[in-house]
Structure 1
Amino acid sequence: MAEWAAITPEDRDWTGVIDDGCAECGFVPQRADATGGRLRATVPVWRDVLTRPDATRRPAPTVWSPVEYACHVRDTCRIFRGRLALMLDEDDPVFPNWDQDATAVEDDYFHQSPARVAGELAAQAESTAAAFDAVTPAQWARPGRRSNGSVFTVRRFAVYFLHDVVHHVHDVTRPTTPR
């Protein structure tokens, strides 16, 4: 395994992908009620990536390895499922802040087992897909907001979440060095 190096925290505002998609990864926003199926479709890709011999290797010292990206996606599923529950149960909740970069260091993503992460990611993705599948037509318009003030409806939140997963699939499957 390569030496661990700190990753510069991401500070880009990704909310634009909700309406415009993402030219970098090819993400195209679709119906929010397709989120569960689209999320499930990423699981076999993650399983394949995490069996590669390079699953624990960073393509560059400050770019996450496939297992680190998978840990992030696993945790993103869990965090966003909790935020979805807040949106469905409370009126216009503010989401607790989540420092994903601190989590990567604190939970030592770099040294996690690819096989274990593959199973955990699959379980979290299935639970999150089921949660999005259970959203009723009247619930898609329910609001919630991040601590920085960004406002989402469940519909827009679903698209934002799915982009994160799809973008990281792109990061670990493209033939060139990820960003």
Structure 2
Amino acid sequence: MTGSERRADIVRQIKEARRPVPAKSLAELYHVSRQVIVQDVALIRASGYDIISTNRGYILTGPESVSRVFKVNHTDEQLGEELCAIVDLGGNVENVMVNHRVYGHMEAELHINSRRRVTEFLNDIERGKSSPLKNITSNYHYHKVTADSEKTLDMIEEELRKRGFLVEQKEDTGENNDET
């Protein structure tokens, strides 16, 4: 089981529980340390879930929204197709990020949540206001996408994979295979 699969299952366990779920119980269930569970819960919270820690365990009060970071690669001509694929399934493209070998981590807010916003963004690019940030890293880039549920994010991930935009990453290797 990968870390992301474990975290998704932790959310399910806490959501379905009738009482608070202790970290110790989760650690035993997944054969990991209690500290791994604490770190997983921190990541789950960062993705939008409202998990409360009580002296008896974790309680999930429900997500307002959830998020996921997707690593993608495509041409300038496919930019609109990528963004529309995300917003058509209910996603909000919060930002674009690149990791450049010289300049380091760079990020720009986008907040694209409709085809109208996609069109406005593409028009701005065409008018020469700027060029896509992905161009400095051989088209490799990341998007933080928010949605109403993990199911929606799963559908977006599958659509990006189907269109050949998703860059598959090895779980927890620490590898940074971005291009310059």
User: After TM superposition, is the score higher than 0.5?
Assistant: no
Question: Larger radius of gyration, structure 1 or 2?
Answer: 2
TM-score (norm 2): 0.28
User: Higher RCO, 1 or 2 (CA under 8 Å, sep at least 6)?
Assistant: 1
1 or 2, which has the higher helix percentage? 1
Taking structure 1 as the reference length, the TM-score comes to 0.28
